[in-house]
Amino acid sequence: MAFNTFFRVSSYAMVACGALALAVSEGLSAMLAAVFAIVIVIAWKLEGTKWQLPERVGLVVVLLSLPLFYLDWKFLSGGGASEKVGVSALGHLILFLSAVKLLQVKADRDWVFLYLISFFEVLLAAGLSLSPLFLLTLSLYTLSALSTILAFEIRKARRSVKVAETRLLVAPDSTLFRRLRKRSLHSREGEARRLPLVAFSLMLLIFGFALPLFLVMPRTGANALARTGEGRTGFVGFSDSVTLGDVGRLQQSDQLVMRVRVEDPQADGNRKLRWRGVALDFYNGRGWQRTGDRYALERLNNERGFFQLGTTEDLQRLTTQTFYVEPIDTPVLFAAPRVVALQGAIPYLTRDSEGALATRPHYQERISYKVYSDTEEPDEDSLRRTTTGNARFYPATIARHLQLPNKIDPRIERLASEIITNAGALNQYDAARAIEERLQHDFGYTLELKSKGTDPLADFLFNVREGHCEYFSTAMAVMLRTQGIPARVVNGFQRGDYNEAAGIYTVTQREAHSWVEVYFPEANMWATFDPTPLAGRPVSARTGIKGWFSKYAEALEMLWIQYVVGYDSQEQRSLAKSFSNRFSDFRSWIASKFESLKKTLSGWFSWMSVENEDGSVSYTRIILLILFSILAAFGLVLLIKRMRRLGFWQIFRRRQVEDERGSAVEFYERMIKALAARGLQRSSGETPLEFASATGMPDALKITHAYNRVRFGDQKLSVNESAQIEEWLRKMEGKDGDK
pLDDT in tens, 456-467: 999 999 999 998
162-176, 311-325, 702-716, range with greatest mean pLDDT: 311-325
* pLDDT at residue 441, rounded to an integer: 93
Our measurement of the distance from residue 386's CA atom to the centroid of its chain's CA atoms, rounded to an integer in Å, reads: 52
Q: According to the model, what pLDDT value does residue 586 have?
A: 81
The verdict on residue 96 lying in a domain is: yes
How many domains are contained in the chain? 5
63 with 78, same domain? Answer: yes
Mean pLDDT (whole number) for 121-140: 77
Sign of CA dihedral 692, 697, 698, 703: negative
Evaluate whether residue 389 is within a structural domain. Answer: yes
Please state the rounded mean pLDDT for residues 626-649. 76
For residue 682, tell me if it sits in a domain. yes
Question: Mean pLDDT across the stretch 206-221?
Answer: 60
**Residue 54 burial by CB count (10 A; 0-12/13-18/19+): exposed, middle or buried?**
exposed
- β-strand 444-445 against 466-467: which pairing, if any? parallel
Same domain for 602 and 721?
Answer: no
- Tell me: pLDDT of 184 over 60: no
Q: Which pLDDT value is given to residue 654?
A: 45
Task: For the chain, report the end-to-end CA distance as a whole number of angstroms.
Answer: 57
In this prediction the pTM is: 0.61
Which of 182, 216, 250 finishes a domain?
216
What Cα–Cα distance (Å) separates residue 385 from each residue in 430, 517, 582? 10, 17, 48
- Helix/strand/coil for 343: strand
The predicted pLDDT at position 225 comes to 36
Question: Dihedral angle at the C-alpha atoms of 281, 507, 219, 264, nearest 10 degrees?
Answer: 100
Domain assignment present for 613: yes
520 and 620 belong to one structural domain? no
Mean pLDDT of 467-492: 94
The better pLDDT of the pair 716, 311 is held by 311
Pick from 224, 446, 222, 461: nearest CA to 346: 222
Residue 332: the pLDDT is: 92
Pick from 164-173, 290-299, 607-616: least confident: 164-173
> Is the residue at 131 inside a domain?
yes
> Do 670 and 632 reside in the same domain of the chain?
no
Query: Over 50: is that where the pLDDT of 611 sits?
Result: yes
Q: Which helix (H) or strand (E) holds 324?
A: strand 318-325
pLDDT-wise least confident of 47-51, 133-137, 695-699: 133-137
How far is residue 285's CA from residue 475's CA, in Å, rounded to a whole number?
11
For residue 700, the Cα-to-chain-centroid distance in whole angstroms is 70
pLDDT tens, position by position, 322-332: 999 988 888 99
Q: Do 625 and 687 belong to one domain?
A: no
Residue with more model confidence, 540 or 137: 137
For residues 615 and 208, which has the higher predicted lDDT (pLDDT)?
A: 208
Return the percentage of the chain with pLDDT > 70, whole number: 76
Quick check: 641 pLDDT over 70?
A: yes
* Judgement on whether residues 598 and 532 belong to the same structural domain of the protein: no
pLDDT digits (tens, 9 = 90+) for 217-269: 555 444 433 444 455 555 667 878 888 877 777 777 888 899 999 987 555 55
Task: Say what the pLDDT of residue 386 is.
Answer: 79
- Alpha carbons 473 and 15: distance in angstroms, whole number: 58
Mean pLDDT (whole number) for 398-410:
91
Question: Does 616 share its domain with 690?
Answer: no
Distance CA 147, CA 372 (A): 49
> Do 639 and 707 share a domain, yes or no?
no
Whether residues 473 and 583 fall in one domain: no
Domain stop point among 181, 216, 251:
216
- Please report which confidence band the pLDDT of residue 38 belongs to, taking 50, 70 and 90 as the band edges: very high
pLDDT at 221: 43
User: Per-residue pLDDT for 501 more than 60?
Assistant: yes
Q: Is residue 282 assigned to a domain? A: no
What value does the mean pLDDT take over residues 662-670?
A: 73
Q: Is residue 390 part of a domain?
A: yes
Pairing state between β 512-520 and 525-529 = antiparallel
Q: Do residues 472 and 595 share a domain?
A: no
Q: Give the span between the Cα atoms of 190 and 183, in whole angstroms.
A: 10
Q: What is the pLDDT of residue 17?
A: 92
CATH of the domain at 529: 3.10.620.30
Note whether 591 and 674 are same-domain residues: no
| pLDDT score of 575 | 64
The answer, yes or no, to whether residue 153 has pLDDT greater than 90, is: no
Q: pLDDT averaged over the chain?
A: 79
Whether residue 254 lies inside any domain: the answer is no
pLDDT digits (tens, 9 = 90+) for 46-76: 988 888 888 888 778 877 777 777 777 777 6
pLDDT score of 390 more than 80: no
Please give the sequence-ordered ranges of beta strands (E in DSSP) within 22-107, or none if there are none.
Answer: none
- pLDDT tens digits, one per residue of 546-602: 777 777 777 777 777 766 666 655 666 666 666 677 777 888 888 888 888 877 767
Residue after which a domain boundary falls, among 616, 643, 670: 643
Q: Give the pLDDT confidence score for residue 87 in this predicted structure.
A: 67
- Look at 414 and 316; give whichever has higher pLDDT: 414
Identify which of 31-35, 348-352, 419-423, 619-623 has the greatest average pLDDT.
419-423
Identify the bridge partners of residue 280 per DSSP, sorted by sequence position. Answer: 489
Q: Which residue has the higher pLDDT, 348 or 75?
A: 348
The domain in which residue 600 lies consists of 568-607
Q: Are residues 77 and 210 in the same domain?
A: yes
Lowest mean pLDDT of 17-26, 150-159, 164-173, 354-363, name the range: 164-173
